[in-house]
Amino acid sequence: MDQELVARMEKSLTDLKVEIIANLVASNKDFKEIVEGMDPKDLADIASDDIDRKTIEALGSQELKRLKLIDSALTRLQQGKYGLCVKCGKRIPQERLEAIPYALMCIECKTAEERRNR
Ligand SMILES: [Zn+2]
């Protein structure tokens, strides 16, 4: 994967993450207290793992799910595995990554999984 794309995706992922955390802070008092308690220098430094499990359950939020996916994608970027499907290892098409920067699976695997979960 070319470096330019990697850099761009990393920026998209970080921006998304900051946006989600800012939304959660704005909409949830408990979450706000947690973030303030952590005294982060930068919102992007907050990993979903840092957020108390109970809070995640209490929020039950779609946004937190997204946050987890973003963290996974960022980890894969650091490992140089970004853009490869976690299931089959095939390259995820660039258009898909541009549309969903935190996509971890190719469309085939994602579709198969959704079918299974139904
Ligand atoms: Zn796949």
Q: Are 111 and 105 in contact (CB under 8 A)?
A: no
Alpha helices in 39-106 (DSSP H): 53-59, 62-78, 94-99
Tell how far the Cα of 96 is from the centroid of ligand 1, in angstroms. 12
pLDDT of 70 above 60: yes
Q: What percent of the chain has pLDDT over 70?
A: 79
pLDDT above 60 (res 117): yes
User: In angstroms, what is the span from residue 95 Cα to ligand 1's centroid?
Assistant: 15
Q: What is the pTM of this model?
A: 0.77
Report in angstroms the alpha-carbon separations of 12 from 8, 76, 95, 105, 117: 6, 14, 14, 18, 29
pLDDT digits (tens, 9 = 90+) for 38-56: 655 566 666 655 566 556 5
Q: Which helix (H) or strand (E) holds 8?
A: helix 3-27
What is residue 37's predicted lDDT score, i.e. its pLDDT?
A: 74
Helix (H) or strand (E) holding 116: helix 107-117
From ligand 1's centre to the CA of 44, what distance in Å?
28
Neighbours of ion ligand 1 (CB under 5 A): 85, 87-88, 106, 109
Judged by DSSP in three states, 1 sits in: coil
